[in-house]
Amino acid sequence: MNFPPNYHLNLTDLQIKNHFPNLRKGENFKFTSLGTDDYNCIAWASEITDNWVQLYDLRGTKTDAVSYVNYFKSLGFDITTDKTVEEGKLKIAIYIGTEHLEHEFKHVARQLPNGKWTSKLGEWEDIEHNTPEALAGKSYGENIVIMEKLI
């Protein structure tokens, strides 16, 4: 992506190193959009770009990963173990925390037709990364659930 003159990335090299130790700029990921708070990773994986999607329980508390799996099931996704690109299928990778709260939802990425993955990193930029594991680590956790739906 060609960024406007004088545009400064919201996601700095230090933040990449601290939050996403498996990412290597120019090797396994690239920036694909400007930073925005118009949408988040859940919306992006749901192919929504004009709304922030966040699940809360009746007490107003953010919900766990099971709720997000169920949300994506309501959109037609089913759990799979196959991360390869398949014509006629849209795949997502749900990231689950591994530290204090094992079942805490952390992130979701969407597979692109070229087999790579796309992620909206909070209010930071969107990126394209080679594998779901490229985002695994302290910030997004090590557990990844792959889901797919027919398109």
Q: Where are the domains of the chain?
A: 13-150
Higher pLDDT, 62 or 140: 140
pLDDT mean across residues, the chain: 90
| Three-state secondary-structure class, residue 19 | helix
Q: Among 56-65, 114-123, 132-141, which range has the highest average pLDDT? A: 114-123
The answer to whether the beta carbons of residues 124 and 14 sit under 8 Å apart is no
pLDDT tens for 76-103 read 999 999 999 999 999 999 999 866 556 7
The answer to whether the beta carbons of residues 105 and 64 sit under 8 Å apart is yes
pLDDT tens for 14-45 read 889 888 999 998 899 999 998 899 999 999 99
Burial 12-27 (b: 16+ CB within 10 A, else e): eeeebeebbebbeeee
| Cα 61 to Cα 58: distance, rounded to the nearest angstrom | 7
Read off the amino acid at residue 132.
P
User: What pTM was estimated for this model as a whole?
Assistant: 0.91
Neighbours of 125 (CB within 10 A): 21
The predicted structure's pLDDT at residue 2? 76
